Amino acid sequence: MRILIAVLLAMCFPVLGYGAENAAGNPEGKKIYDGWCAQCHGYKGDADSFTKDVSLPKPRDFTFGSFKFRSTPSGDPPTSEDLTKVIRNGNPGTSMPPWSRFSDAEVKAIVEHVKSFAPDTFAMEAKPIKIGTPPKASKELIEKGKAEFKAAKCVDCHGNAGRGNGEKGWQDDFKTDWGYGIAPADYTHGWELRNGSSLEDIYRTISVGLSGTPMTSYMDSLSDDKRWALAHFIKSLQLTRQLGLALKVKKTDNLPSKPNDPAWEKVDYMDLPIGGQLMFDTRDFTPVITNVRVRGLYTTKELAILLQWTDKKPNDGSDGKPTDSIRIQFPVKKHEATELPYFFMGTNKAPVNLWQWKASDMDKVFASVAKGHENVEPMEKSDATAMASYDDGLYSVVFKKELKSAKDDPVFEIGKFIPFSITAYDGRNGEENIRGAISAWYYLMMEPPTPLKVYVFPPVISLGVLIVGIGLHKKLRKNKRG
Amino acid sequence: MAIWELRWFDFQAATVYVKYIKVLLKEETVKKVFLGALVIMLLLPAMVFAEVKAYEVVDVKDGGSIKGKIKSSGPVKDPVLEIKKDENVCGKSAPANMYIISGANEVKNVIVAVEDVAKGKAIPKTDTVIDNQKCEFVPIVAVAYVGDKYIIKNSDPIFHNTSLGILLGEGKKRTVYNLALPNKDQVIEKPVKVAGLQIVQCDAHAWMRAFVYASKSPYAAVTNDKGDFEIKDLLPGKYKVKIWHEGFGETIKDVEVKAGQATALDHTFTKK
């Protein structure tokens, strides 16, 4: 009997073992994949799905066998841990969310199923590169990395300031394995770095590259210490995002004369995360601008608002695509009610004031009043002015207006919260009109200058308290003795 | 098949059997031997199927050859590449060198490869050089052998990256290697691991391209200036031979090789 069982068992094993190797992956993994992943990645792993036209970047087609995010050398498949990491952490700046709902065993099963879509790729051995201990950051190391950034020609694609605006213009021809266009990464936007933004992530990306994209592997062409220096320099380019609800606008005697005036760098800022307009047709499912940095200053006469955002390739509309553009929105009239106008272009009852700047008309403001997105009327007269610059991948636009307001103007009152919102357009991405990246309402407040009494009264009062205290003390001691 | 060619699960499966059998047949040595033999017999077909593609080296004593000439039905104009990047190194324009055709309509750079050869002579120890020279890959068409090496060079004073990929239809591929060569005289060596026809590209200079046929067997060749090729020392038998050209496309021919004889294989492409 025992012998029979043994023989039967032995007969089962090859069938099970080799069967699983050839057939579609892991049945448990397939079940979860079909329920949670196939809607974007396709039931056959080929990304033929409902979401392929409304996501940028598009969902990964696993059947190609190219996997961007690896810890293994160029030419090798990703490890199971690499795939697990993408499932667990998601992909920053893409539609791939982090999946925490699955158990480790379930993720393992999904990984096995995903691998079955590209059996050729995963027939090869996957061994991660050694990442070692990173050297400590120092000014010298960052300087060394900066020199290497030029020497290793990173600058050719990613640009001097690392904003993905390399001057060689190669990126126009860039293609992925999947046949889509792709742009070099903007290092200043750490939150967009798909393969992670930590020092180790950057080092790994430089070393092994991103399969299927023009991001090439430097492991064989740059020594380890040069790659760490580069990683430190690239890490140092990342913006510190300052998120908030309200921006402090301070008073100054003179406004900076240019939008790229270094004086602006000392001014407080707030970062506005922005996303595609999805309420009305034509919707923007695939925005590329993710952040607008806002700064403000005012004088006795004027308010100036600086808006800055990155654009890998400026576009003034002369190539047949729409022009790059940015728009700031304020409620018409004073905002006193608790309810703000509808955040996207207002309504009939609560209209908004729009100032739009276009790269095609560098010094002009297109002012209008909107009572909803289908009811926009250009203003005949507006005092708002604009000046703009494009420096190394960064747009800077300053809107200025006198503080006193005419009919249909926003009201700029010192010491009050002034609501505003932003719409940004990347022309090369086909954005114009209501198709653009939008923000929610935020506030700016022109801080009242500190009056002199603030400096006078507190010391006077504390002195008074001190004198009274000493007096009391003396009196008490007297009483005690007496 | 050698023991080092086994995959891990072969061992794993075998370990499991041994474990089960040990538990069930603790003292019965005879039965152990009998069952061991049975298990190996059961495993054998799976091992054979799993490794069906492995190339086996044998001594070819009285082999035959395939020899021939590839021609075009008429002259074809070679396209001129317009260059708009790094002109100081790359020049303003360059011949594509796609159609290198002699006065007698003989076609250079055609890949002739005998497909799915199970066994034959040893693979030559010939590494495949891919050089970036004046923004052109040299050579434009080459054969590489799985197990040998790619030697990738940059002879230009500018950045190139060399990316190899298995073609998966129009404008699509699966990257095999993507290596940075930022500086002049940079050399990178990589093992030839993935078999098949691959396109070689440089993302920085989109017009650059070359083709490498990575072969598991030694039986592949590229035609010379006269359109000639010769593939020697094949074991007698019936073969399928792939004839491929970047511009003309692909055709597959049935060829029978006889011991000690040269089988003629000529083909004439017609430009569509």
Q: CB neighbours of A407 closer than 8 A, spacing ≥ 6? A: none
- d(CA A230, CA A238) in angstroms, rounded, equals 13
In angstroms, what separates the C-alpha of B221 from chain A's closest C-alpha? 25
Residue of A1, A9, A13 to mutate when probing chain B, most B C-beta within 10 A: A13
- Minimal Cβ distance to B16: which of A5, A13, A218: A13
At residue B22, what are phi and psi to the nearest 5 degrees? -60, -45
pLDDT digits (tens, 9 = 90+) for B120-165: 999 999 999 999 999 999 999 999 999 999 999 999 999 999 999 9
pLDDT digits (tens, 9 = 90+) for B203-217: 999 999 999 999 999
Residue B1, SS3?
coil
- Please give the CATH number for the structural domain made up of B55-117+219-272: 2.60.40.1120
Question: Is the pLDDT reported for residue A429 higher than 90?
Answer: yes
| Nearest chain B residue (CA) to A123 | B7
The answer to whether residues B63 and B235 touch, using CB atoms and an 8 Å cutoff, is yes
Question: Is the pLDDT reported for residue B1 higher than 60?
Answer: no
Contact A170 B206 (CB under 8 A): yes
Summary mean pLDDT of chain A: 91
pLDDT value of residue B171:
87
pLDDT value of residue A93:
87
pLDDT above 70 coverage of chain A, percent: 93
**Which of B69 and A21 is assigned the larger pLDDT?**
B69
Q: Does A171 touch chain B (CB under 8 A)?
A: no
At residue A460, what are phi and psi to the nearest 5 degrees? -65, -45
Q: Does A173 touch chain B (CB under 8 A)?
A: yes
Average pLDDT over residues A452-457: 79
Query: In a 10 Å sphere around its CB, with 0-12 CB exposed, 13-18 middle and 19+ buried, how is residue A238 labelled?
Result: middle
pLDDT value of residue A450:
78
**Which of A479 and A127 is assigned the larger pLDDT?**
A127
At A429, list the tokens.
Answer: 């991405």
Residue of B135, B172, B201 to mutate when probing chain A, most A C-beta within 10 A: B172
CB-based burial, B167-180: b 16+ in 10 Å, e otherwise: ebeeebbbbbbbbb
At B178, list the tokens.
Answer: 């993507």
Per DSSP (E only), the strands in A178-262 are 246-251
Task: Look at chain A and count its residues.
Answer: 482
pLDDT value of residue A7:
53
Question: Is the pLDDT reported for residue A98 higher than 70?
Answer: yes
pLDDT value of residue A56:
87
List, as one string, the DSSP characters of A155-183.
Answer: HHHH-TTSSS--TT-GGGG-B-TTS-B--
Residue B259, SS3?
coil
Contact A3 B25 (CB under 8 A): yes
Q: Does A124 touch chain B (CB under 8 A)?
A: yes
Q: CB neighbours of A323 closer than 8 A, spacing ≥ 6? A: A315, A316, A317, A358, A359, A360, A425, A427, A432
Average pLDDT over residues A40-66: 93
- d(CA B255, CA A164) in angstroms, rounded, equals 53
At residue A40, what are phi and psi to the nearest 5 degrees? -105, -45
pLDDT value of residue B11:
52
**Stretch among A282-291, B5-14, B76-85, B234-243 having the lowest mean pLDDT:** B5-14
Sort residue B105 into left (φ over 0), alpha (ψ -120 to 50) or beta: left
Contact B203 A209 (CB under 8 A): no
pLDDT digits (tens, 9 = 90+) for B171-209: 899 999 999 999 999 999 999 999 999 999 999 999 999
List, as one string, the DSSP characters of B104-163.
Answer: T-BBSS-EEEE-S--EESPPP---EEEEEETTEEESSEEEEETTSEEEEEE-SSS-EEEE
Average pLDDT over residues A460-471: 91
Question: Is the pLDDT reported for residue B50 higher than 70?
Answer: no
Pairing of strands B141-145, B209-215: parallel
When pLDDT is cut at 50, 70 and 90, the band that residue B54 belongs to is confident
* Domain boundary assignment for chain B: 3-52, 55-117+219-272, 124-216
The answer to whether the bond into A57 is cis (omega within 30° of 0) is yes
Average pLDDT over residues A161-182: 89
pLDDT digits (tens, 9 = 90+) for B83-127: 989 999 999 999 999 999 999 999 999 999 999 999 999 999 999
Closest by Cα among A217, A463, A237, A431 to A315: A431
pLDDT value of residue B27:
56
Q: Does A74 touch chain B (CB under 8 A)?
A: yes
pLDDT value of residue B178:
97
Average pLDDT over residues A401-414: 88
| Nearest chain B residue (CA) to A171 | B204
Average pLDDT over residues B55-64: 94
Contact B13 A152 (CB under 8 A): no
Closest by Cα among B181, B45, B148 to A74: B181
Count of Cβ atoms closer than 10 Å to residue B221 Cβ: 22
Instruction: Name the residue with tokens 């020199």.
Output: A147
In angstroms, what separates the C-alpha of A238 from chain B's closest C-alpha? 24
Residue of A46, A66, A112, A219 to mutate when probing chain B, most B C-beta within 10 A: A66
Question: Is the pLDDT reported for residue A205 higher than 80?
Answer: yes
Average pLDDT over residues A32-59: 93
Contact A10 B35 (CB under 8 A): yes
The answer to whether the bond into B139 is cis (omega within 30° of 0) is yes
pLDDT value of residue B40:
61
In angstroms, what separates the C-alpha of B226 from chain A's closest C-alpha? 35
Instruction: Give the H/E segment covering residue A454.
Output: helix A453-481
- Minimal Cβ distance to A221: which of B174, B186, B206: B186
The DSSP code for A380 is: S
- Please give the CATH number for the structural domain made up of B124-216: 2.60.40.420
When pLDDT is cut at 50, 70 and 90, the band that residue A335 belongs to is low
- d(CA A399, CA A411) in angstroms, rounded, equals 15
When pLDDT is cut at 50, 70 and 90, the band that residue A337 belongs to is low
**Which of A408 and A46 is assigned the larger pLDDT?**
A46
Average pLDDT over residues A370-376: 96
| Nearest chain B residue (CA) to A169 | B85
In angstroms, what separates the C-alpha of A112 from chain B's closest C-alpha? 15
- d(CA B136, CA A305) in angstroms, rounded, equals 50
Contact B179 A221 (CB under 8 A): yes
Contact A215 B178 (CB under 8 A): yes
In angstroms, what separates the C-alpha of B116 from chain A's closest C-alpha? 16
pLDDT digits (tens, 9 = 90+) for A268-279: 999 999 999 999
Summary mean pLDDT of chain B: 88
Chain A / chain B CB contacts < 8 angstroms: 131
When pLDDT is cut at 50, 70 and 90, the band that residue A90 belongs to is very high
pLDDT digits (tens, 9 = 90+) for A228-251: 999 999 999 999 999 999 999 999
Residue of B174, B185, B208 to mutate when probing chain A, most A C-beta within 10 A: B174
Q: Distances in Å between the alpha carbon of B258 and those of B32, B151, B219, B266?
A: 48, 36, 15, 17
Residue A279, SS3?
coil
Q: Distances in Å between the alpha carbon of B225 and those of A1, B109, B168, B229?
A: 73, 8, 29, 10
- d(CA A465, CA A467) in angstroms, rounded, equals 6
pLDDT value of residue B31:
64
What torsion, rounded to 10 degrees, do the Cα atoms A59, A65, A70, A74 define?
-130
In angstroms, what separates the C-alpha of B179 from chain A's closest C-alpha? 5
pLDDT value of residue A482:
59
At B260, list the tokens.
Answer: 């000690």
Instruction: Give the H/E segment covering residue B89.
Output: helix B87-90
pLDDT value of residue B37:
61
Q: Does A18 touch chain B (CB under 8 A)?
A: yes
Contact B178 A74 (CB under 8 A): yes
How far out from the chain centre does Cα A229 lie?
24
The answer to whether residues A421 and A341 touch, using CB atoms and an 8 Å cutoff, is no
Question: Is the pLDDT reported for residue B17 higher than 80?
Answer: no
- Minimal Cβ distance to A124: which of B38, B180, B193: B193
The DSSP code for A407 is: T
pLDDT value of residue A21:
43
Sort residue B33 into left (φ over 0), alpha (ψ -120 to 50) or beta: alpha
Closest by Cα among A41, A168, A162, A161 to A95: A41
The answer to whether residues A314 and A395 touch, using CB atoms and an 8 Å cutoff, is yes
- Minimal Cβ distance to A156: which of B16, B49, B159: B159
Contact A221 B21 (CB under 8 A): no
Q: Does A454 touch chain B (CB under 8 A)?
A: no
Question: Is the pLDDT reported for residue B47 higher than 80?
Answer: no
- d(CA A463, CA A145) in angstroms, rounded, equals 56
The answer to whether residues A353 and A347 touch, using CB atoms and an 8 Å cutoff, is no
Question: Is the pLDDT reported for residue A266 higher than 70?
Answer: yes
Average pLDDT over residues B3-25: 55
pLDDT value of residue A449:
83
